Every structure is written in structure tokens, then in C-alpha cells.
């Protein structure tokens, strides 16, 4: 049975006064709480007594992410205001020219789910890799649905090669089948995930929900019930949600994404995420070499002799061009 703490939400009509347990030491009216769901404009937060509050923020205090430790001021009927957001250990987010979207904060790791059907996007893989490097959160790749590739070792070999090249062999990568090999998947992942808070990312259809239901049975159904009860999910189909399993397993589910802008990175940030290109680039003849058509370009030479990855080079040039364009528009 899932130990979904969201099940502890109280019936509004019989609500008891909050226990002293969850009170904020500085002010008796304030409570410390953990953000467990984000609907964009409002959030669900769980206080230390296990009560779920629907919380709203004004101005900067609206910029709340799942995983944030916040201080809330109850305003009645299980509703509360965000009073403060505690300093984050880390934050994974994406951003385009118009807005940024926070995935989650205070993470121990990110799991990126990929599959061959629907086909995964190497570009999204590269962007996820870059965002996690920048946020300094360990990334693990789960390549799901390997059952589809049974009897097709060639395609599987190509995938392995592509993932290795893009990640420089630096990212733990597991080949799994959630539906066909559930026990194996579970015994592989439990030791990696227990006692940790993990954000699961992936394009639509990669198997995120299937995996969450395997590791925390009933999690998604319980979540829907809570959302309905609090009316929190009204008019929203996509939201980010934390699920609580046994042995301190915490999984954060985020809607499948098709875009992953990285406008929040500076050019130096970008170079740090591509340290292979940065280090080789230091050997170019010109200090400001763009690694395009300059003579004695160590990066171009590295691409030619196979020591650098063309896929990473292309992604780097694409992200750099985006940053330059974004800067010109401001
Ligand atoms: N063949 C195969 N199918 C799988 C596997 N894991 C999941 N699926 C199927 O893939 C489809 C999509 O799975 P979901 O778990 O809904 O994918 P998701 O990543 O949550 O997608 P969104 O909710 O759209 O973000 C479902 O029909 C699953 O049954 C697997 O290991 N092998
Ligand atoms: Zn160069």
C-alpha cells in the first residue's frame, strides 16, 4: 500500500486547529511547509503535521517550485499565503524568451526517461543534460521499452552509442522495460531512489506515469483525488506533483515537455556545461575563436579526428546562437 502522505488531507468541515508540532518558531501563526504540487498559479504545501494547504503567493513569493521549503500564513479553509521561500539547495528549470518554468527544487537527482517509441529527441536529451549540469544535480538516464528492441541489437547498439557520445559516458544509463520486466526494474531502481527526492523528466509517452505507478502503487489515482477535493486541479490539465513512497522514496512527476529553453544560462555557464569543448577551445589560435571557420581551430580539428563529438558541438552552437539572439532582443 502506498504511503502517500497526500492521503492525510483533512476534511475541511471537521478541521482541527493545526498542531503545535508544525508551528513556525518565530511566529505562532506561521507554519513551515513543503511544496508538493504546483499548478502554476497556486500550489499545494504540506505542513509538518501532514496537513495539505492550498497556497498562493504574491509577487516574488509566487515563484514557488515543488520541493521548496516555504513559510505559510493560513488564511482559513485550508488556504494560506506564501510568506517566505527558504534558500534552495538547487533548482532545475527551463526558460524561453517569454517565461521560465520551474521544474523542481531541492533535488537529490533527476531521472530522464527515454525510449525508442515514441522516438526520443537527442536535442532534448542534450538540453536536459545541460540544465542538470548547470543546476549541479546528478542525472541518470532510464532508457525504457527495451522490449521493443528485442531482436534488433543494431538499433540498441546505435542508441547506446548515441547516448554515450552525448553524455561523454559520464551519466549512469540503465536499459529497462517497465511493463515487461517490472520486478527487475523495481529491484534496480529502489536502491537508487530510496531516501531521495528525484525529479522524473521525459517527453510524453516515455513511460513516466507507468514507472511512478510501479514504484508507488496508487500514487497517481490518490493525487487526482486530492486535486479534485481541493478543487486545485480545476481548469488545469498539467501540473507538477510530488509522490511519497516507502523508505523515503520521493518522486516528482512533471508533465511531458516538447521544448526546453535554456535562456537562463550565461555564455560562461554554457561553456562550463560543455567542458570538453571549452578545454579544447583553449588551444585555438584565436582567443575569441568561434570554432566555425577560423584557422588553427582546435575544436574543428578535434571534430575531424574524432576526439570531440559532433552531436555535442552542434548542440553547443545551437544553444549559443539562442543565447545571442535572446540577448539582442533585450
Ligand atoms: N512496450 C512498452 N511499453 C511501455 C513500457 N513502459 C510504458 N509503456 C507504455 O507507453 C505508453 C506511455 O506510458 P506513460 O507512462 O503514460 O508515459 P508518460 O511518460 O507518463 O507520458 P505523459 O503522461 O504523456 O507525459 C503506455 O501505453 C505504456 O503502457 C515498456 O517498458 N514497454
Ligand atoms: Zn576554435
Phi, psi angle pair for 133, to nearest 5°: -60, -45
Domain positions in the chain are 5-85, 91-253, 267-328
Q: What's the DSSP call for residue 172?
A: -
pLDDT digits (tens, 9 = 90+) for 177-232: 999 999 999 999 999 999 999 999 999 899 999 999 999 998 876 666 666 666 65
pLDDT tens across 37-53, in order?
998 888 999 999 999 99
Residue 15: its pLDDT value, please? 36
- Separation of 179 CA from ligand 1 center, angstroms? 8
pLDDT exceeds 70 at position 236:
no
C-alpha cell at 103: 521544474
User: Which has the higher per-residue pLDDT, 222 or 172?
Assistant: 172
CA of 158 to the centre of ligand 2 (A): 29
Ligand 1 atom 13, closest CA: 207
Report whether 100 belongs to an annotated binding site. Answer: no
The residue behind cell 489515482 is: 221
- Mean pLDDT, the chain, rounded, equals 87
- pLDDT of 227 reads 64
Q: Note the ipTM here.
A: 0.98
Cis peptide bond N-terminal to 61, omega within 30 = no
May I ask the CATH architecture of the domain 5-85? Beta Barrel (2.40)
Higher-pLDDT residue of 109 and 63 is: 109
Ligand showing the shortest atom-to-Cα distance for residue 295: 2
Distance between CA atoms of 136 and 98, rounded to whole angstroms?
24
Question: If you measure from the C-alpha of residue 277 to the centroid of ligand 2, how many angstroms do you get, rounded to a whole number?
Answer: 9
Q: Which CATH class is domain 267-328?
A: mainly alpha
Rg, C-alpha atoms of the chain: 22
> What's the pLDDT score for residue 223?
66
The conformational region for residue 124 under phi > 0 = left, psi -120 to 50 = alpha, else beta, is alpha
Q: What is the pLDDT of residue 25?
A: 65
What's the CATH code, domain 91-253? 3.40.50.300
With a pLDDT cut of 90, the percent of the chain lying above it is 70
- Residue that has been written with the C-alpha cell 523542481 in this structure: 104
The verdict on whether residue 146 carries a ligand-binding annotation is yes
pLDDT, residue 148, reads 96
Distance 15 CA to ligand 2 centre (A): 65
- Residue 260 confidence class, pLDDT cut points 50, 70, 90: confident
For residues 138 and 109, the answer to whether their CB atoms sit within 8 Å is yes
Share above pLDDT 70 across residues of the chain, in percent, rounded to a whole number: 85
- Arithmetic mean of pLDDT, 290-317: 95
Ligand 1 pocket (Cβ < 6 Å) reads 144-145, 147-148, 177-180, 202, 204-210, 255-256
Least confident of 74-88, 162-176, 221-235: 221-235
Q: What is the best residue among 115, 204, 207, 255 to mutate for testing ligand 1's pocket, by most ligand atoms within 8 Å of CB?
A: 207
Amino acid at each position: 500500500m502506498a504511503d502517500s502522505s497526500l492521503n492525510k488531507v483533512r476534511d475541511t468541515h471537521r478541521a482541527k486547529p493545526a498542531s503545535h508540532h508544525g508551528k513556525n518558531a518565530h511566529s505562532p501563526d506561521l507554519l513551515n511547509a513543503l511544496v508538493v504540487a504546483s499548478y502554476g498559479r497556486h500550489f499545494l504545501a504540506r505542513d509538518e503535521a501532514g496537513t495539505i494547504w492550498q497556497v498562493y503567493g504574491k509577487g516574488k513569493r509566487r515563484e514557488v517550485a515543488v520541493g521548496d521549503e516555504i513559510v505559510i500564513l493560513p488564511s482559513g479553509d485550508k488556504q494560506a499565503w506564501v510568506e517566505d521561500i527558504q534558500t534552495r539547495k538547487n533548482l532545475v528549470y527551463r526558460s524561453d524568451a517569454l517565461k521560465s518554468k520551474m521544474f523542481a527544487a531541492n533535488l537529490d537527482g533527476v531521472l530522464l526517461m527515454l525510449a525508442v517509441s515514441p522516438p526520443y529527441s537527442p536535442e532534448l536529451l542534450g538540453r536536459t543534460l545541460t540544465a542538470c549540469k548547470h543546476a549541479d544535480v546528478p542525472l541518470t538516464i532510464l532508457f525504457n521499452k527495451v522490449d521493443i528492441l528485442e531482436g534488433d541489437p543494431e538499433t540498441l547498439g546505435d542508441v547506446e552509442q548515441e547516448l554515450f557520445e552525448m553524455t561523454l559516458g559520464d551519466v549512469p544509463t540503465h536499459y529497462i522495460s517497465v511493463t515487461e520486466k517490472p520486478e527487475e526494474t523495481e529491484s534496480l531502481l529502489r536502491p537508487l531512489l530510496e531516501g531521495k527526492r528525484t525529479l522524473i523528466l521525459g517527453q510524453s509517452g516515455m513511460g513516466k506515469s507507468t514507472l511512478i505507478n510501479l514504484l508507488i502503487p496508487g500514487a497517481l489515482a490518490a493525487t487526482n483525488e486530492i486535486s479534485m477535493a481541493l478543487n486545485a486541479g480545476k481548469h488545469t490539465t498539467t501540473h507538477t506533483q510530488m509522490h511519497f513512497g516507502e523508505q523515503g522514496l520521493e518522486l516528482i512527476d512533471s508533465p511531458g515537455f516538447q521544448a526546453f529553453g535554456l535562456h537562463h544560462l550565461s555564455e560562461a555557464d554554457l561553456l562550463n556545461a560543455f567542458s570538453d569543448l571549452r578545454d579544447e577551445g583553449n588551444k585555438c589560435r584565436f582567443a575569441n575563436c568561434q570554432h566555425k571557420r577560423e584557422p588553427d581551430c582546435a575544436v574543428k580539428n578535434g571534430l575531424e579526428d574524432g576526439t570531440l563529438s559532433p552531436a555535442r558541438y552542434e548542440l553547443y552552437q545551437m544553444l549559443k546562437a539562442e543565447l545571442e539572439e535572446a540577448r539582442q532582443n533585450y
